[in-house]
Structure 1
Amino acid sequence: MTALTRTPHADLPARRPDPRALWPEHARRLYDHLVALYGEDDPLPTLAAAWIGHQRSVHTMKSYARGFRIFEEFAREYGVHPMAVKFALADTFRLHLETSPTWVRVRGGRRGEMARTGPPYADASRKNALSAASSFFVYLDKVSDDGVKNPFDAVQRPYVDPDYSSTPGYTEAEWARFLAVARDEHRVAAYRKRAYALLLVLYTCCLRIDSLLNARVEDLGYDKGHRVLHLEKVKGGGRKKKPIPPLAWDALQEYLGGREAESEWLFCTATGGQLDEPAVWRLLQSLAKRAGLPLRGPHGTKVDAITHALARPDARPDKIQSWADHKDSRTTQRYNKRKELLDDSPGYGIGAALAGALQHGAEE
């Protein structure tokens, strides 16, 4: 009898690991959503999830996944597989976004109940949905052996004025009021330390909200005399150290209360889960009402931080550009331009002169 030789592969497990287990959160969520609609045998769920995982930043993953869901729902309503969409339907998708009502929560309805009763998509949302769909086809072309024509190449996208923002801005005095309300007047006293620390770190470190919410306690550190936060992902991908000013560091330590366990979220819920963006939106809306200030979302915090930094007498635009994680200096200067369009408006001068003339006429 011939003796069998044991091969090196004999010790390998019979079941190979699934590479999909390494997909980031937004890729896995999109995959599960599409599998429920198309099944595992359809290539769409795997290709769409792999495309999302291919993106560099968490923000881009989330934005593209949201935009792709809008596109997929539209194609399905027209009875066309998303991967089979041609230019005519792609251009119809553009028109659809201009008039279609958006999904909003049903007041008084069941938990998670949604209805298409909201206003049509804003210009930025329409541009994002079209960009997401186009990016998906660009990815298909890259991974395909035969090449895939992008049906969105000739589709016009909405023009979004980079110098305009619908987000209301706060002055530095209003920000001080806002922070004081978070520290002293939050309706839930147990959450005051968390609210105060979160807003201070978000504002003084000029962070995107998704970057901060993805940070863990172990990401706090020390470098060359500075307390720092090691960010896993910033805009465009990569890691970065953000110095934390003493005021924000003290508030952060007061909130953490000695919590140092690894793998814990830096800002977490009462049960230790990751604090999410909807919770931060609700927090900011509640604090704004108590402070008597306009309602706004977390994106406005970074806008205000950049605007206030640029307005300081000792401002260094190049330093602010790096602090804000802007690759292009023109992006940083747009924040200054938006402020100047308000502060330096000629309307104030002619309005004051007109008020004086009217007052003089009334006295005569």
Structure 2
Amino acid sequence: MPGSEVARSPRSTLSTFRRDPRALWPEHARKLYDYLVAIYGGDDLLPTLAAAWIAHQRSANTQKSYARGFRVFEEFARNHGEHPMAVKFVLADTFRMYLETTPTWVRVKGGWRGEMARTGKPYADASRKNALSAASSFFVYLDKVSDDGVKNPFDAVQRPYIDPTYSPTPGYTEAEWARFVAVARDEHRVAAYRKRAYALLLMLYTCCLRIDSLLNARVEDLGYDKGHRVLLLEKVKGGGRKKKPIPPAAWDALMEYLDGRTTGWLFCTATGGQLDEPAVWRLLQSLAKRAGLPLRGPHGVKGDAVTHALAKPDARPDKVQQWADHKDPRTTQLYNRRRELLDDSPGYGLGADLAGALARDTN
């Protein structure tokens, strides 16, 4: 295997099983395997090792994110004439600089279906950090499964600094959220989907859910426990299981949307298929335009819910932490700091004083 110290062959290991374990790989592992096999062929170890590494990740969100970042790294290594598993520090550090300037892939307007070209803006800090983290994680995995160890060429590569108090997603006030939800209920351009949009927003907001967790839920996951209507989530951030209490307003909206349905995806398409995240993105963008509010994505919903909960006079950060599935209380406090940086800005006082002084001077 080019440039790798991995001594064991995944193919020879897999051949000892009566059934191929790859049949149980999650979606993003299978997709990455197929993508790499088409490039390197079935005799190269990269497709199996890379897909096994993706399958090793706990959450579907991490699997998706790492698979996306690894594709960027693989393309870069291949275009520089190097096998991804043979990359050393110099090329790994060059990959960091490459991400700072190279255009991103965007769809070609008027092109054939699925046609893409590198004509977009360079990668954002978060995307660059994800690609570097994905590549580094892959080598960490190789080191774990190797008999002799594999040096990680990304150990000394600097990654972009991400300010934890900054979020590019615009936040809504509670009044704006009320407007947003009302538009989903009454003004969504497709009347047949209004009940679904309304219930989805209420579930995301009042249950403080990650979008991937909600979209992976099924009607069979709804239940009742100790006087509470609950949703049993198979996976929350970090890979655990948790019961989420559903407030009455969200429960009523959900029941009206389900209209007696007792099986299948909790939020589904018109044909019963699983509603996906891009569809939710398009929904929220459409609703924001109709409501006259800044455009946003589904990940901002949870942030607004945490921020509004922390702003309540009787808020208990420890309870908000548990509700939001934050393992570390510092994560919860970041939402507080973001809000305070805006709400308590000294600039408001200075601006008011200056405006008053200017008005007196004019008179």
After superposition, the CA RMSD in angstroms is 0.9
Q: Which residue of 1 aligns with 2:331?
A: 331
Deviation at 1:361, TM superposition (A): 1.1
In structure 1, what residue type is equivalent to 2:312?
R
SS at 1:175 equivalent: helix
SS at 1:157 equivalent: coil
In structure 2, what residue type is equivalent to 1:171?
T
Q: Which residue of 2 aligns with 1:278?
A: 278
SS at 1:284 equivalent: helix
Matched ranges for 1:83-232 at <5 A: 83-232=85-234
Matched ranges for 1:39-58 at <5 A: 39-58=41-60
Q: Distance in 1 between matches of 2:232 and 2:113?
A: 36
Deviation at 1:152, TM superposition (A): 0.3
Q: Which residue of 1 aligns with 2:80?
A: 78
Deviations 1:146-187 (A, max 9, x none): 110000000000110101111100000000000000000000
Q: Which residue of 1 aligns with 2:6?
A: none
Structure 1: unaligned runs, 5 residues or longer = 1-14
TM-score by length of 1: 0.94
Q: Which residue of 2 aligns with 1:347?
A: 347
Deviation at 1:79, TM superposition (A): 1.1
Q: Which residue of 2 aligns with 1:308?
A: 308
Q: Which residue of 2 aligns with 1:362?
A: 362
Deviation at 1:40, TM superposition (A): 1.1
Deviation at 1:109, TM superposition (A): 2.8
In structure 1, what residue type is equivalent to 2:151?
K
Identity of aligned residues (%): 85
Does residue 269 (structure 1) correspond to residue 269 (structure 2)? The answer is: yes
In structure 2, what residue type is equivalent to 1:320?
V
Q: Distance in 2 between matches of 1:200 and 1:296?
A: 16
Structure 2: unaligned runs, 5 residues or longer = 1-16
Q: Distance in 2 between matches of 1:224 and 1:352?
A: 52
Deviation at 1:106, TM superposition (A): 2.1
Q: Which residue of 1 aligns with 2:26?
A: 24
Q: Distance in 1 between matches of 2:47 and 2:189?
A: 43
Q: Distance in 1 between matches of 2:265 and 2:20?
A: 27
Q: Distance in 2 between matches of 1:96 and 1:205?
A: 40
Q: Distance in 2 between matches of 1:301 and 1:107?
A: 31
SS at 1:268 equivalent: coil
Deviation at 1:17, TM superposition (A): 2.0
Deviation at 1:304, TM superposition (A): 0.1
Of 65, 71, 75, the match for 1:69: 71
Q: Distance in 1 between matches of 2:260 and 2:50?
A: 42
Q: Which residue of 2 aligns with 1:317?
A: 317
In structure 2, what residue type is equivalent to 1:135?
S
In structure 1, what residue type is equivalent to 2:293?
L
Deviation at 1:126, TM superposition (A): 0.6
Deviation at 1:110, TM superposition (A): 2.7
Deviation at 1:197, TM superposition (A): 0.5
Q: Distance in 1 between matches of 2:115 and 2:233?
A: 35
Deviation at 1:114, TM superposition (A): 1.5
SS at 1:118 equivalent: strand
Larger radius of gyration: 1
Aligned length: 347
Deviation at 1:16, TM superposition (A): 3.2
Q: Which residue of 2 aligns with 1:12?
A: none
